[in-house]
């Protein structure tokens, strides 16, 4: 899924250079800032930026509205979320950053 997303970003690249896309690829992790408030807010904000369903909905909406920016944002979010799943980072539960729908992350799995 990550590879498909990256391929689609080559189509909807908005004429941005590769290094900008490399930075933007990791931009959804800004959702971790919600954890500065508390774990509940952190989980909601993080999951908003890492939910594949939301990403697909944005990409499809952008496609049908002929809005390449919205399409690219959706594809970018999808690609990033898929990459995170490869690394074992899933959607977060409200009790802890380390408690995800894929299981526990970190050294104390």
Q: How many domains does the chain have?
A: 1
- Asked if pLDDT for residue 13 goes beyond 90, the answer is no
Q: Where are the alpha helices (DSSP H) in 28-89?
A: 39-50, 52-64, 68-86
Helix or strand run (H / E) with residue 57? helix 52-64
pLDDT-derived band at 84 (thresholds 50, 70, 90) equals very high
In this predicted structure, what is the pLDDT of residue 107?
60
Whether 15 is in a domain gets the answer: no
CA distance 88 to 105: 7
Q: Is residue 21 part of a domain?
A: no
Cβ atoms < 10 Å from Cβ of 55: 23
Q: What pLDDT band is residue 105 in, cutting at 50, 70 and 90?
A: confident
Dump pLDDT digits (tens) for 14-45: 998 889 988 999 999 999 999 999 999 999 99
Domain that holds residue 90: 2-9+26-95
pLDDT the model gives residue 39: 93
Is residue 72 within 8 A of residue 12, CB to CB? The reply is yes
């Amino acid at each position: 899924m990550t590879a498909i997303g990256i391929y689609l970003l080559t189509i909807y690249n908005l004429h941005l250079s590769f290094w900008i896309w490399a930075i933007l690829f990791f931009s959804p992790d800004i959702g971790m800032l919600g954890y500065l408030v508390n774990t509940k807010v952190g989980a909601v904000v993080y999951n908003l930026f890492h939910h594949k369903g939301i990403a697909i909905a944005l990409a499809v909406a952008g496609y049908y509205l002929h809005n390449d920016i919205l399409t690219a944002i959706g594809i970018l979010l999808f690609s990033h979320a898929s990459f995170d799943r490869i690394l074992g980072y899933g959607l977060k539960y409200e009790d802890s950053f380390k408690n995800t729908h894929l299981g526990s992350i970190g050294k104390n799995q």
